[in-house]
Amino acid sequence: LAKTTQPISMDSYEGQEVNITCSHNNIATNDYITWYQQFPSQGPRFIIQGYKTKVTNEVASLFIPADRKSSTLSLPRVSLSDTAVYYCLVGERDTGRRALTFGSGTRLQVQP
Amino acid sequence: EAQVTQNPRYLITVTGKKLTVTCSQNMNHEYMSWYRQDPGLGLRQIYYSMNVEVTDKGDVPEGYKVSRKEKRNFPLILESPSPNQTSLYFCASRSDLIAEQYFGPGTRLTVT
């Protein structure tokens, strides 16, 4: 089971780019990297998923180096509404077993 | 609208009184999971199901039961609730093991 390590918290200001890095040293060949966002008292919401290199959608970018032992979620020009907890997850091999264990996440606080 | 619903959203009960939290999804997803979330511990998986009549334990299954008699429903059963099961519970579904998970709105359970 691939374990992930993220910073516990980060602070930023409105309009800045925020990069949250996740370490997953024992990622397996078939594992995908997925990021979720969670607001207080709500269920997590999918942000982005990738396997290697770079993935971009309308919300964020995900950078994955060649060794795949880490990944970086990039949020361009954050706003106050981006204040949330961000989870990095690594998917297990598709053996039919459970996948994607949530860690403690990174609490992002965006200030005006 | 694609969604996962949970009921009830809030529940206060007493030790030992059996309860069921319902979960239903309208996306025809095969995979469903139950999580509990406690301060400082992130989300921990309780049980998961890969299809009808196929369920397995997650990280913290003690004190819980589940059933999957229909594809859309995945109820969580607490036969004899105890105060240490006071938590925020989330149900989630996905179409396959690496697809994004859709989370329900959460059920806040208090056991006195």
Q: What is the DSSP string of B52-110?
A: TTEEEE-S--TT-EE--SSTTB--EEESS--GGG-EEEEEEEESSTTSPPEE---EEEE
**Residue A106 corresponds to which amino acid?**
T
- Tell me whether B27 touches chain A (CB under 8 Å): no
With tokens 């709105």, the residue in question is B105
Residue A99: closest C-alpha in chain B: B97
B76 pLDDT more than 50 = yes
- Tell me whether A107 touches chain B (CB under 8 Å): no
- For A4-55, the pLDDT digits (tens) are 899 999 999 999 999 999 999 988 888 889 999 999 889 999 999 999 999 9
Average pLDDT over residues B89-110: 90
What distance in Å separates the CA atoms of residue A21 and residue B50, rounded to the nearest whole number?
31
A96 pLDDT more than 60 = no
Q: Classify A63 as helix, strand or coil.
A: strand
A80 pLDDT more than 70 = yes
pLDDT reported for residue A95: 46
- Tell me whether A98 touches chain B (CB under 8 Å): yes
Q: How many CB atoms lie within 10 A of CB A56?
A: 13
Residue B89: closest C-alpha in chain A: A43
Of the residues A57, A100, A104, the best mutation for testing chain B's interface (the one with the most B CB atoms within 10 Å of its CB) is A100
- Tell me whether B25 touches chain A (CB under 8 Å): no
Tell me which DSSP letter residue A47 carries.
Answer: E
Considering only CB atoms, A101 lies closest to which of B4, B45, B98, namely: B45
- Tell me whether B70 touches chain A (CB under 8 Å): no
Among A88-97, B4-13, B31-40, the range scoring the smallest mean pLDDT is A88-97
Instruction: Place A101 in a pLDDT band, splitting at 50, 70 and 90.
Output: low
Average pLDDT over residues B78-85: 97
- For B43-75, the pLDDT digits (tens) are 888 999 999 999 999 889 999 999 999 999 999
A97 pLDDT more than 70 = no
Which one, of B24, B42, B21, lies nearest residue B32 by Cα?
B24
